[in-house]
Chain A
Amino acid sequence: MDTSNPAVFVNAELLRMYVGRRVRAVIQVLRNDGGSIVGKSTDEQQLVVKGHPSSPPTTFVEVIGVADTNQSINAEIWTNFGDNFDTASYNTVCQLANGDFKHLFI
């Protein structure tokens, strides 16, 4: 099956390693500028997500898309994760997926 296109779990710090590649990240929405959302990554840095969510974003959204720059993602798929989300656990997964357990993920 197709493994050619994994979407790596990233936080802001890891995003810069994947510019031009598919990533997934959870963002806490701070501001919706229409066409782009400014939010906070799971490692508490500012990120910009470009694109149009299919429904109004909740406090936490997951975006899957291509890393545009080291601080922005072109989102293709948006998933509302609600208003209550454990960002620390998700951030741990980002670290595992890019660290000791990388071979399970990418």
Chain B
Amino acid sequence: MMFESSQFDSMPGGATGFVSSQTADPSPSSAKSRDNQPMYPVTVKQIIEASTSADDKSNFLIDGISVYNVKLLGMVFDKSARVTDVSFVIDDGTGRISCNRWVNDSQDTQEVEELTDEIYVRVHGHLKSSQGKKQVVVYAIRPVKDYNEIANHFIECAHAHSCNTRLQHNGSASLASTTVTTPNKAHQTISSSQISQEYNLDGLGSIDKMVLDYLQLPSSLAQEKGIHRNEIAQKLKVSQEKIIEAIESLESEGLVYSTIDEFHYKSTAS
């Protein structure tokens, strides 16, 4: 699977059911290593304000990370169908962006025939900049049937944004130091590792988050018996009491569990 279908399953806004089926949409096109880049939920305004990196015009920086694939949700305008492709504009209330969908087979044709002005659709595609204009090259279009998806999409955008910006700003000691010591899976970019660490963090304190981050490290997940809480305290330079407190709260959230004894803990995400 090229996208992690569980990425956003636990959104604070409720209405979770439809999320996984949509992210599971395999996009057969697209070149190079970009296939394994995650889908990033964005508002049109974020795309418009995204900067392209100097070396690679097809890479866009949103929330300080490189974004290629995006999820958008908005209203269709200015649909214009040609033999081989359909162009339209998505207006999500934050701005407007041109979209283009190539039509290759009958399934594609069916997909674009459903498209009419002023209906809400969810669009998956990748960002492209040509002649200074940004556009979305669309892989998939799904008409919105359950309008709760709208609120859910924007909450997802806010959630992804705050996860990424918080990680960068806090530079949480634990994360910064450990990325150096643990060889992050080869080519994995910051973006994908950050996004894949999203879970329901509502109400978690910063120490809780640090402990969880530590237990989520590949090196920690690899330990069959889990990690001793003393080690966590030592590595994070936080007092035993605070660690115990954090573990208790994480355990009650179902994010970690004790293993061989009440001192060793593992993340449930493994």
Contact = CB atoms under 8 A, between A and B. Distances in A.
Interface of A: 1-3, 5-9, 24, 60, 62, 64, 77, 79, 81-82, 85-86, 89-90, 92-93, 96-97, 100-101, 103-106
A77 B154 CA distance: 20
A104 B133 contact: no
Interface in B67-121: 75, 89, 91, 93-98, 118, 120
A104 B155 CA distance: 11
B225 interface: no
Interface string B43-60: 111101000000000000
A86 to B, nearest CB: 5
B14 interface: yes
Main secondary structure of the interface of B (DSSP, over half): mixed
A89 B96 contact: no
A101 B95 contact: no
Contact of A89 (B45, B46, B133, B148): B148
Contacts of B94: 3, 6, 104-106
A77 to B, nearest CB: 6
Identify the 7 closest CB pairs spanning chains A and B, nearest first.
Answer: A89-B151, A3-B95, A81-B147, A7-B93, A101-B158, A89-B13, A90-B151
Given A89-B148, A90-B148, A104-B161, 5 more contacts: A1-B96, A3-B95, A8-B93, A77-B118, A104-B94
B93 A85 contact: no
Given A1-B134, A3-B96, A104-B157, A86 B150 contact: no
B158 A104 contact: yes
B152 interface: yes
Contacts of A62: 147
A82 B43 CA distance: 24
Nearest to A8: B93
A33 B157 CA distance: 37
B118 A79 contact: yes
A9 B95 CA distance: 13
Nearest to A4: B95
Contact of B147 (A64, A82, A103, A106): A82
B146 to A, nearest CB: 8
Contacts of B152: 89
20 contacts: A1-B95, A1-B97, A2-B95, A3-B48, A6-B93, A6-B94, A8-B93, A9-B93, A24-B93, A64-B93, A77-B118, A82-B147, A89-B155, A93-B151, A101-B157, A101-B158, A104-B45, A104-B46, A104-B94, A106-B94
Contacts of B134: 1
Contacts of A2: 95-96
Nearest to A76: B118
